[in-house]
Amino acid sequence: MTGHGRPEGRFVGKVMVVTGAAQGIGRTVALGAAREGASLVLVDRAEIVHEVRAELEGLGAQALAVTTDLENYSGADSAMAQALDRFGRIDILVNNVGGTIWAKPYAEYREPEIEAEVRRSLFPTLWCCRAVLPAMLKQGGGVIVNVSSVATRGVNRVPYAAATGGVNALTASLAFEYAEHGIRVVGEPNSVLKSYRSRPTTSARSVPARLTAVGPSRDPGRGPGPGRPARVIRPRRGARPRPRCAIPPARSPRTCAP
């Protein structure tokens, strides 16, 4: 056990694909997972991802670097195919590509800028989830971690907010759709991961706890697994419906209808 109460070698025998792995959060997650026994597939469109591969191999980890553009499905499909070619399976996918390009009032965005923001912060996750699912279904389980953001409401970043809101919706929908197949899909806000990035990667805390549970949960109180579908939350009998609140006009009290 580590000093934080977590087992050493959580990822021994596991294959983890990390996108956006050339720097920042992606690089730090890859380093932490390598130190705990994972075999890594590092995906990025920047050539410096090969330097990260060399760094991981220096730690004794098995690693493959793939340079491709994940904003297109062909890039995501190629990355997963190369991972399967090298290791034969994919246990964990960490989707970590995205980020604001411009920050300004929405009325000032041009059409190509809006498309570029959505293409960067939504499509890599959307495509990679689609590309990895056939392999996880065939092997009977896996974990998908979608790095998102709490910045789905705010000013001067409307296209980015729309894209990350899409990632959050994708995460929830996939979690329900594939729970019965032993595939766990979770989201992690980048604000949490940035706090890990500031810590030494020699610690077990360099990798978020959500990545600890690989494969279906065996604890009936910890969510769905094989033969145990996702629980459907139904309203209590006799419960009053949640009120629908209208958007109030300026300088008027908030009004709600039952």
Catalytic residues: 160
CA-based end-to-end distance of the chain? 53
Can you read off the two tokens belonging to residue 123? Answer: 């499509």
Q: Which residues does 228 contact at the CB level (< 8 Å), separation at least 6? A: 180, 220
Question: Residue 202, class by beta-carbon neighbours within 10 Å (0-12 exposed, 13-18 middle, 19+ buried)?
Answer: exposed
| Cα 147 from Cα 125, distance rounded (Å) | 9
**Other Cβ atoms closer than 10 A to 255:** 11
| Cα 73 from Cα 78, distance rounded (Å) | 8
Pairing of strands 244-245, 256-257: antiparallel
DSSP state string for 74-126: HHHHHHHHHHHHHHS---EEEE-----S--S-GGG--HHHHHHHHHHHTHHHH
DSSP 8-state secondary structure symbol assigned to residue 149 = -
DSSP 8-state secondary structure symbol assigned to residue 220 = T
Residue 156 CA, chain-centre distance (Å), reads 24
Strand, helix or coil at 151?
coil
